[in-house]
Structure 1
């Protein structure tokens, strides 16, 4: 496993040597991102992830949330196509998915699954249906309860052609590892990348399954705010949509997320900014690397 000293530190110079695909043509050329999540009580998580994907450069956005919140979300994000999903009595997204969503999943370039979901069993059913339907060339970002479902079924991604990025927080990483991550987050991140054979972004550490590792050092305490993880997952999804490979999207995404927080700190203090304000800084942060 790589040590902290073996990780490459992500700096603007490193990113300039690893430029994102140049956006060309119309919105289709920058990818379609489908975000699936949002219980009756947490539709805002899908909003944050979806708008972050657009700010990161995705061309088209599609959102799927519980039927009871779909109309409100379509008004809040007029740039997106919104699909309503059946919900359980408790307001969670039900695992029985409508054909309209499966059609969107089959045509999406990137699927971000998890923001705002709150029932791990239903999420597991949902994941199976979506991953079985998604195109082989699609990319997948798993966050929040989607990671909980993966921890219960570690082979869920095995043998699938889709490229995946996991964006856990420390609690989710513990579930995925089956143990506490410990102080050596570089080693924990690489262990996750090897176990699930995909790129992992954990608390500023990024690891690819081929052994490459990076570290983002700009992140501060303010990023630990409600909804911040949804923003990070959305940024990664948007970068994948515009053509970045998984490791590149994770590295650029970690930098954009962290530096957007730094830009807000002079106005709101280190811990006073909101996740929705992070979203508004993402495009500028990426453009000024």
Structure 2
């Protein structure tokens, strides 16, 4: 596994990824695993759509989505590849904490679970995850607002033995660490490593210049992307890519490094095709299958 040399972070390049290949795709959907996405509110159903489609574009074999009941039927039509499970809501349109019981069976059969796309209420998210996360045994991605659970429970994913990935932006990183402001530059890299150490999870910090930090102290830098990726829904796509790679059998640090690179490089390709800014988050993940083929040497 490519990692730090003499204490220095590794830059994620095409050459590095070719030396760190993903698990073979296998011959059918069962071989590439089942990804379960849990997220959304009555007002943000698009986030789970973006994340779910990204998981499939990254090669997941099966997709299941658990989201709030008012939007579940429409989402099932919009993503016909997925099994969509409606969940009870609270008075504010969030998934109700006691709805955790409804996804137990799905989560038990999943190869990776992605929690958080479309969550908007940190307290409601933490209440739900407090009931759900301790039961999970498969690899997990906590995206964006879902990381608020770890502000309350620093050891909340420790039982997964390093098979958890946190996908956060600088503001979410600061909130999870309870720091006063979003870190930048070298401070951002150090804060990412600190959160990885404190939570025993791999952390993927998004933004201009992505950082991946593992609990072991290893760190990777991803200098791909551009301003066009700073758009609503972009983070949901990146989290979905990581979840899809985990479902295929990638380790947590590999899924984070590959997912961050694929997201950034897809953004660069769209910038060349469409314009520096103005492309949409939904256009990012369709770039990914070709990138995967190129890295595998078949493009």
In the TM superposition, residue 121 of structure 1 has moved relative to its aligned partner by 2.4
Which shows bigger deviation, 206-215 or 71-80?
Answer: 206-215
Paired position in structure 1 for 2:66: 64
Aligned positions, number = 285
Provide the C-alpha distance between the structure 2 equivalents of 1:32 and 1:283, rounded to a whole number of angstroms.
Answer: 18
Q: Does 1:187 align with 2:178?
A: no
The equivalent residue for 1:80 is 82
| Residue of structure 2 in register with 1:150 after alignment | 150
Q: How does 1:110-259 map to 2 (within 5 A)?
A: 110-134=112-136, 136=137, 138-161=138-161, 163-179=163-179, 180=181, 181-184=183-186, 185-203=188-206, 204-259=210-265
- Over 3 Å counting, the alpha-carbon distance change for 1:101 and 1:70 in structure 2 is same
Asked if structure 2 preserves the Cα contact closer than 8 Å seen for 1:182 and 1:188, the reply is: no
- 1:92 is paired with a residue whose SS is coil
Q: CA deviation at 1:160?
A: 4.1
| Matching of residue 266 in structure 1 with residue 272 in structure 2 | yes
Q: Which residue of 2 aligns with 1:42?
A: 44
How many angstroms apart in 2 are the aligned matches of 1:40 and 1:285? 34
- For 1:159 and 1:232, the matched residues in 2 are separated by 24
Deviation at 1:161, TM superposition (A): 4.4
Worse-superposed segment, 9-18 or 92-101: 92-101
Q: Does 1:280 align with 2:282?
A: no
Contact 1:7/1:186 (8 A) holds in 2: no
1:96-115 to 2 correspondences below 5 Å: 96-97=98-99, 99-115=101-117
Q: 1:98 to 1:158 in 2, by over 3 A?
A: closer
**Structure 2, gaps ≥5 residues long:** none
TM-fit CA distance, 1:182: 3.8
TM-score, with length taken from structure 2: 0.91
3-state SS, counterpart of residue 284 of structure 2: helix
